Chains A and B, each alone.
Chain A
Amino acid sequence: MSLAEIMLAVLWAGLTAYVLFGGADFGGGIWDLLAGGAQAGRRRRDLIEHSIGPIWEANHVWLIFVIVLMWTGIPSVFAAIASTLYIPLTLAALGIIARGAAFAFRKVSIELWQRRLFGATFAFSSIVTPFFLGTVAGAIASGRVPAGIAEGDFLTSWLNPTSAVAGALAVGTAAYLAAVYLTRDAQRVGDKDLAEDFRRRALACGAVVGLVSAAGLVVLRADAPRLFTELTGGRALPFLVLSIVAGLVSLVLLWRRAFLAVRITASLAVAGLLWGWGVGQYPYLLAGVTLRQAAATDAVLAASLGALAVGALLLLPSLWWLYATFQRDHTARATVPRDLDH
C-alpha cells in the first residue's frame, strides 16, 4: 500500500467514525424533534440528552479530522469540492453552529420557553445538517465535482437525484443508528417502556432506510452508472451485500430484543454502504482525478501519518476511558432520583 492509499484509508475510517458516532448524535436530535409535546416527550428527551451530553464534542471532532486530512492529503480535491459545493457546505456549517450551540444552551436553560426555543433549533438543525452533508456526498459520488477551483455548477452539482437520495439517506441512517443506540441506553437505565418505544422506532426507521437505499440504487443506475456497476457487479459488491445482510439481521435482532448485538450489525449496515461507495469509486476521487494525481507529497503524508500514529497511542486509551466511564455509570445513576432540571 502506498502512503497515499494509507492516508485515504485513514480518512475513510475517520469518515466512518463520524457517520457512526456523529451521525447518531444528529439522529438523537431528530428523535428529539419527534419526541412529542413538552410534557409527554420529556422522558425521551432526557434520555437523549443524557446519552449525547458527554460524548458529542468528541464525536464531532471526527468531522474536523476528516476535513483536515483532506486538505493535507488531497489538497486540490479539497479545494475543488469546497469551492464548487460552497452553498451546501456553508449551510451545513451554519447548521453545525446552530446545533451545537443550541444543545449546550438548552442544557443550562431552566424556563420552558427557552428550552423550547433552543430545543427546536437543536432538533431542526439536526435534520438540516446531515441532509446538506449528504448532498455533498451525492455530488461527489455522481461525478459532478470537476477538478479545479469552482469549475462545477453551483446549483445542479448538489441539486440532483443522487444528492437528494444521499441527503435523505444521511438523515435516515442518522435516525436509525440513534434509535438503535438509544434502545440499549434505555434498557441500561432500566426504563422498559422507553426501550420498547425506541425499539419500535428503530424497526420502522430501519425498514424505511432499507427502502430508501433500494430506491437509491435505482437512482444511481440512471444518474451515476459507473458507481452503480461497481456496486452491483464489481469490487464494491461485497460491501453492498454486507450492508444488506447486516441490515436484515439487525431487524431480526431488534425484533428479538438483542439490543447490544444490534448495535454492531446496524453499524455494519451503515458502514457497508459507505465503504461500498468508497471502493466503488476508487481510484477516482473526482471525475478524471485519481488518487495518485491528487495526493500530497510523500514527506507530508509520512509526517502526518506518523503524527497520527503517535496521537492514536494517546487517544485510544482516552476514548476508551470516556466511553467506559459513561456506559458503566448509567446503571449506578439510575437508582438515584434524577433532577430533571439541572
Chain B
Amino acid sequence: MNPADLLAVTGADLAAARMQMALSLGWHIVIACFGVGMPAITLIAEWRGHRSGDVHYRLLARRWAKAMGVLFAVGAVSGTILSFEMGVLWPGLMGAYGQVIGLPFSLEGIAFFIEAIFLGIYLYAWDRLPPRIHLLSGIPIVLAGVASAFFVVTANAWMQQPTGFDAEGGRIVAVDPWAAMFNPATPPQTVHMILAAFMVAGFGMASVYAVAMLRGRRDRYHRLGLLLPLAVAAVITPVQIGVGDWAAHFVASNQPVKLAAMEGVFETERGVPLHVGGIAVDGEMRYALEIPYGLSLLAHWNPNAEIMGLNEVPPADRPPVNVVHWAFQIMVGAGFALLGLSAWLALAWWRRRDLPSSPWFLRAAALSGVAAALALEAGWVVTEVGRQPWIVYGVMRTAEAVNPAPGLVWGFVLVTVVYAALTVATVYVLRRLARDIPVPIAPQERDVTGYKVV
C-alpha cells in the first residue's frame, strides 16, 4: 500500500487513535503529577508533625496519605492502559522502535515496583512501624516517583529528537540505548515535567483548603493545609518559568517548525515580533498583539535573529497552527498568573509572617490548582501536537505508525465512556473522603490516632 492509500483508509481511525491517546495520556498525567508531588508534601507534613508534635500536621499527613491511596490506584491502572495502548494503537512505532525506547521503560518498571512496594508499607503499616522508620519508608516513594517521571519523559524526548540508532531499509540494525535515552531533548523536557508535577500537586492540594477557608473554616488545620503545599509550589514556580525559557530555546534550535507553529510565523524573517493572542487564517496571523522583535529576542537572545516560517515546509508537514499557538499562550499565561500568586504569598509572608488577608488571595489560590493543571495539559499539547505530522520527529509519520485494523473508532468511544465514569467516580470518592469524616475543629491526639489511613 502506498502512503496515500494508507492515509485514506485510516483517516477516521487515525483521528480516533490520536484522540484516544491524548485522552488517556492527558488523564493519566494529572494523576501522575500527584503521584510524583504528593508523597513529598505529605512527608514534609508528617515530619513536621513528628518533630513538633503538632496534631494538625499529623492529621493532615494522614488525610493526604488516605487520598494518596486512592490516587495511586487510579494512577497505576490508568498507566497500565497506556502501555497497552502503545501497542494497540501504535504498533508501527513499537514494532520498529520499541527496542530503542525500551531501556527507559524497563528502568521505569523498576521505579514503579519500588514505588508500589513502599507505598504498600507506608500506607498499611502506618500504625505498626516506629515513626522514624515510617517516615524513612516514605522516601523511596518520592525518589521512585521522580525517577519514573524522568524515565518516561526521556522516551517522549526521544520521539522529539530521535538519536542512538541506525536504520537500513526501515529495519533497525544498531542501537545505542543510552544515547537514545539521553537525547538532546531530555534535559529540558524532564526538568520541566518534574517541576510541573510538583506545581500541579502543590497548587492542587492548596486549592482544596482555599475552598474550605472561603467557606469559613479558618482554623489552624485548614491554614496549614493551604500554606504547606502552596509554599512548595510557590518556591518552584519561578524556577519553572526559567526552565520553560530553556525549553523554548531548545525548540527554537531543534524543532523550528514547532516554534513557527507556537508563534504563528509563516514567513522566514529576521527581527520577528512575539504574537500574543490572535488566530491563523489562510496562512496569516490575524488580530494578534505584536511585541516588536520579541520572538527573535526570546528565542535566540538576539533581536535580529532569523526565525524560520511555516511556509518553508510543505503543508503536509505542518502541525495545526492554532491548536499549538493557543496551547502555548495558555501555558505561558497560566505560568505567569501562578508566578503572581506566588509573589503575593512571598510578599505577605516576608512582611507579616502570615497569609495575605484579602479574600481575593483565597479565591486565586482556589483556582491555582486548575491553572497549574491547565498549564500542564497545554504544555503537552504544544509538545505533542507541535511535533505532528511526525510520531518520531523527522523519521516516522503518525499515519505510518497507527494500527490499520478497522474499528478503532469504537475503541475510542468505549474508552471515552469508561474514562468519563472513572472521572465522575474519582471526584465523587475524593469528595466523600473529606466529607464523611469531617475534620474536628481543634484536633486532639485521639482524633489523629483514630483516623485510619487505609
Contact = CB atoms under 8 A, between A and B. Distances in A.
A98 B74 CA distance: 9
Nearest to B118: A318
Given A78-B87, A104-B69, A68 B113 contact: no
B106 A55 contact: no
B70 interface: yes
Contacts of A83: 87-88, 91, 403-405
Interface stretch (B78-86, B183-191, B248-256): B78-86
Chain A contact surface mostly = helix
B449 to A, nearest CB: 12
Interface residues of A, number: 70
Contact of B175 (A69, A89, A114, A296): A296
A322 B97 CA distance: 36
A89 B119 CA distance: 28
Given A57-B73, A86-B88, A303-B178, A71 B113 contact: no
B106 A108 contact: no
Given A57-B120, A299-B174, A329-B125, A93 B103 contact: no
Given A53-B454, A99-B77, A101-B73, A108 B66 contact: yes
Given A83-B91, A109-B429, A304 B436 contact: no
Say whether chain B's binding surface is mostly helix, strand, loop, or mixed: helix
A297 interface: yes
B411 A304 contact: no
A157 to B, nearest CB: 11
B91 A150 contact: yes
B74 A104 contact: yes
B19 interface: no
Contacts of A326: 120, 124-125
Interface in A84-129: 84, 86, 89-90, 92-94, 96-101, 103-105, 107-110, 114, 118
B239 interface: no
B116 A299 contact: no
A325 interface: yes
A300 interface: yes
A33 B100 CA distance: 43
A105 to B, nearest CB: 5
Nearest to B421: A98
Given A72-B98, A108-B429, A300 B177 contact: yes
Contacts of B98: 71-72, 75, 78-79, 296
Interface residues of B, number: 75
A69 B83 CA distance: 11
Contact of B106 (A58, A68, A315): A68
Interface in A312-342: 314-315, 318-319, 321-322, 325-326, 329, 332, 339, 342
Interface string A48-85: 00000111011011011101110111011011111110
Nearest to B417: A94
A273 interface: no
B418 interface: yes
Nearest to B77: A100
B218 interface: no
Contact of A61 (B70, B116, B432): B116
Given A53-B454, A57-B119, A297-B99, A68 B83 contact: yes
A109 B95 contact: no
A131 to B, nearest CB: 16
9 smallest beta-carbon distances between A and B, as pairs: A72-B102, A82-B87, A79-B95, A75-B98, A104-B73, A311-B110, A71-B98, A296-B99, A100-B77
Interface of A: 53-55, 57-58, 60-61, 63-65, 67-69, 71-73, 75-76, 78-84, 86, 89-90, 92-94, 96-101, 103-105, 107-110, 114, 118, 149-150, 154, 296-297, 299-300, 303-304, 307-308, 311, 314-315, 318-319, 321-322, 325-326, 329, 332, 339, 342
Interface of B: 66, 69-70, 72-74, 76-81, 83-88, 91-92, 94-100, 102-103, 105-110, 112-114, 116-121, 123-125, 128, 140, 172-178, 403-408, 411, 414-415, 418, 422, 425-426, 429, 432-433, 436, 452, 454
